[in-house]
Amino acid sequence: MTNVLQPIGAAVLNGLEQIGRIALFALEAIALAFRRPFYVRLIGRQLIDIGYYSLPVVGLTAIFTGMVLVLQSYTGFSRFNAESAIPNVVVISLTRELGPVLAGLMVAGRIGAAMAAEIGTMRVTEQIDALSTLSTNPIKYLVVPRLIAGLISLPFLVAIADIIGVFGGYVIAVYKLGFNSAVYLRNTIDFVTDLDVVSGLVKAAVFGFVITLMGCYQGYHSRGGAQGVGAATTNAVVSASIMILVLNYFLTEVFFSR
Amino acid sequence: MTAAPKIAVAGLHKSFGAKKVLRGVDLSVGTGESVVVIGGSGSGKSVLIKCILGLLRPEGGSILVDGQETVGLTGRDREKMRRPFGMLFQGSALFDSLPVWENVAFGLIQGERMPRRQAKEIALNKLAAVGLEAPVGELYPAELSGGMQKRVALARAIAKEPAVIFFDEPTTGLDPIMSDVINKLIVKCVRDLGATAVSITHDMVSARHIADRIAMIHEGRIVWSGPAAEIDNSGNPYVDQFIHGRAEGPISMPVRSL
């Protein structure tokens, strides 16, 4: 019996230990974020990397998601003569769920991986040790600017994704399915509430933090040369993606279940 | 050698998992002295240096720097203790995202909050001291040869004019001529700064060149230490085997026949 239970117990303990380590890492970074010096330049560079250069990927994801959403809901809703609900469904699903989750997943693939690879390479080539010997706290220098930039840029990306997604849906509805343009826009704007948008942006901020945290954590703790860096990169993307999906559920519960 | 040693290591223990790397190292380094620790691969040389620098946390023993205990220091105390230290890493560990001059000036700009222009001037001076001209300062580390990278790393290690400089395998991977250049530069820099130097190497040419005193580490303990001039008549079988590079002797490398 113990032979069966032992590996399960070991895996659970290992998992809990990991969670504890990640939490301590995050707390250390947060504490350091409020201590001088503030690396404004580095934050700026990361904002450009995470925010600006992710725009094409996130924009493409959003526009096609909006388009397919209209197409699918039309085939379903037309059976019940409920086509007029399509604009509401599209705008609510985009702002509440699809915008933050899909943008988060795309950015996790793009940024989380890049961060883990860069910081992981710095670890295995002793550049992180070198930072310490040059009177620079490596967590403060490498991790804090990335976390701040992730926290700030994801809400902006998601706001843009929301707009592009709704626009994609509008184009298909009006030019392919023959909706009246003014009515479609009216229905979209009348039905979306502040809470829909705000909840999506809060989610985005949380996801931005999680993506950069996992990228930095996995990279920072990578060992064993090229293979270690490869594993760190994979772990960063996988763990960030899973955390996005799990946290998405709990955040939704916080905002909408009462 | 003065009465109070600059660095006094006593009974230092460090293991990684079940593998005991340091098993009670005792080593003292006088102010202004140049000590070279020799030993085979995997004998714990690098771990010893990293423990002294506080990059690794030993399980037992004490490390006194200027008579102050440094084992167990954290946060700001650790940063303060590390400030008078400089380190030349085995793989140079240059920051590949920064141009050469910023690498050299890094400790001055980030650690001591020096204005960039002033720091650049000092950086170019240090580059000149290791035989690199100003235009090299604008290049990136990836554009330099291994020997040039090593010289930049040396310039970075001495930029803050540290009281103690650590050299981790300074000549590994360099051709014999470049090795000689680096050895001469190390001797010159250490002398010009009046610094204390701790080096680790398995290159005997380099060790004879740099050292005032040589200590041999084997299986996590210092097995011999004495003035560099006496290395040839140490009477110690480990040292004899090492300096003559014999496969047979008390240091055995178990090899199975094919």
A252 interfacial to chain B (CB closer than 8 Å): no
Q: How many CB atoms lie within 10 A of CB B178?
A: 17
Full-prediction pTM beyond 0.90?
A: no
Nearest residue of B to residue A131, measured between CA atoms = B107
CB atoms B95 and A37 under 8 Å: no
CB atoms A127 and B95 under 8 Å: yes
| pLDDT for A113 beyond 80 | yes
Q: For testing the chain B interface, which of A123, A135, A137, A142 should be mutated: the one with the most B CBs within 10 Å?
A: A135
* Band of pLDDT at residue B254, cut at 50, 70 and 90: low
CB atoms A126 and B50 under 8 Å: no
* Band of pLDDT at residue A209, cut at 50, 70 and 90: very high
Q: Would you say A173 and A242 are in contact if contact means Cβ atoms under 8 Å apart?
A: no
* Band of pLDDT at residue B73, cut at 50, 70 and 90: confident
Highest mean pLDDT pick, A82-86, A203-207, B39-43, B239-243: A203-207
A223 interfacial to chain B (CB closer than 8 Å): no
A77 interfacial to chain B (CB closer than 8 Å): no
| pLDDT for B219 beyond 70 | yes
* Band of pLDDT at residue A236, cut at 50, 70 and 90: very high
Q: For testing the chain A interface, which of B53, B89, B149 should be mutated: the one with the most A CBs within 10 Å?
A: B89
Rounded mean pLDDT of B32-49?
87
DSSP of A62-101, one letter per residue? HHHHHHHHHHHHHHHHGGGT-GGGHHHHHHHHIIIIIHHH
CA distances to A4, A122, B212 from B159, rounded to whole Å, are 58, 21, 23
**Confidence at residue B1, expressed as pLDDT on a 0 to 100 scale:** 45
| pLDDT for B17 beyond 80 | yes
**Confidence at residue B3, expressed as pLDDT on a 0 to 100 scale:** 58
**pLDDT tens digit string along B237-252?**
888 888 888 887 787 7
Q: Which of residues 33-52 of A touch B (CB under 8 A)?
A: 37
Chain A neighbors of B89, CB-CB under 8 A: 126, 129-130
**Confidence at residue A212, expressed as pLDDT on a 0 to 100 scale:** 96
* Band of pLDDT at residue A1, cut at 50, 70 and 90: low
Report d(CA A81, CA A77) in Å as an integer. 6
Average pLDDT value for chain A: 92
Rounded mean pLDDT of B225-229?
88
Nearest residue of B to residue A45, measured between CA atoms = B97
Report d(CA B164, CA B162) in Å as an integer. 5
Chain A neighbors of B57, CB-CB under 8 A: none
Chain B neighbors of A127, CB-CB under 8 A: 93-96
Chain B neighbors of A136, CB-CB under 8 A: 106-107, 110-111
**pLDDT tens digit string along B126-165?**
899 888 888 999 999 999 988 899 989 999 998 888 999 9
**pLDDT tens digit string along A20-47?**
999 999 999 999 999 888 889 999 999 9
Q: What is the nearest CA distance from A234 to chain B, expressed in angstroms?
A: 23
CB atoms A135 and B86 under 8 Å: no
**Confidence at residue B80, expressed as pLDDT on a 0 to 100 scale:** 85
Average pLDDT value for chain B: 87
Percentage above 90 pLDDT, chain A: 77
**Confidence at residue A93, expressed as pLDDT on a 0 to 100 scale:** 93
Q: Would you say B106 and A136 are in contact if contact means Cβ atoms under 8 Å apart?
A: yes
Report d(CA B153, CA B44) in Å as an integer. 23
* Band of pLDDT at residue A59, cut at 50, 70 and 90: very high
Rounded mean pLDDT of A4-9?
88
**pLDDT tens digit string along A114-128?**
999 999 999 999 999
CB atoms A130 and B91 under 8 Å: no
* Band of pLDDT at residue A69, cut at 50, 70 and 90: very high
**Confidence at residue A21, expressed as pLDDT on a 0 to 100 scale:** 94
Burial class (CB in 10 A: 0-12, 13-18, 19+), B194: exposed
**Confidence at residue B249, expressed as pLDDT on a 0 to 100 scale:** 79
Indicate the pairing of strand B68-69 with strand B60-65. Answer: antiparallel
Residue among B87, B91, B94 minimizing CB distance to A133: B87
Rounded mean pLDDT of A83-104?
92
A129 interfacial to chain B (CB closer than 8 Å): yes
Which of these ranges, A138-147, B37-46, B140-149, B191-200, has the smallest mean pLDDT? Answer: B37-46
CB atoms B110 and A126 under 8 Å: no
